[in-house]
Amino acid sequence: MKIGHFSKLPILLSLLWADTVLADDTISCPYTKVLEIQSQVTNVLIHLEGQGWKQLGTYQEYALNSRLSLALSAHASGKQIMLAFSSDSGVECDKTEYFTSPIKVRIR
């Protein structure tokens, strides 16, 4: 039995739909300068220019090391960083947030 190219169409459409939904489900804070990084007993905080302190992650989170690596790199090089949070987190970019970790960190 030969499977035609149209059988792959639902898979492609579902991937495009998932990408669109995921892209819209974030609060992306503006790129800004890293002022300070603080290690605490249970988590790591980052102080961003004009955005206050944000939780970078807890030590239980698998992604903390990669987020911290990007933050340290941005701080050392003077590059800007962007944090994105889940849209249902209620994070306000210009306010301090100690308890919600970003789902994405980007450096430029």
Only one residue has tokens 């102080």, namely 47
Residue 53 within a domain:
yes
82 lies in which domain range?
Answer: 26-107
Q: Are 44 and 68 in contact (CB under 8 A)?
A: yes
pLDDT tens digits along 67-76: 999 999 999 9
Residue 88 within a domain:
yes
Residue 80 within a domain:
yes
Residue 14 within a domain:
no
Distance of alpha carbon 9 from alpha carbon 85, whole angstroms: 31
Q: Are 34 and 77 in contact (CB under 8 A)?
A: no
Residue 3 within a domain:
no
Q: Are 46 and 53 in contact (CB under 8 A)?
A: yes
| CATH at residue 67 | 2.40.50
Domain count, the chain: 1
Residue 51 within a domain:
yes
Does 21 have pLDDT greater than 50?
no
Q: Supply 28's token pair.
A: 């992306």
For strand 80-86 and strand 32-39, is the pairing parallel, antiparallel, or unpaired? antiparallel
Residue 16 within a domain:
no
Residue 20: pLDDT band (50, 70, 90) is: very low
What pTM does this model have?
Answer: 0.76
Residue 93 within a domain:
yes
Q: What is the mean pLDDT of the chain?
A: 87
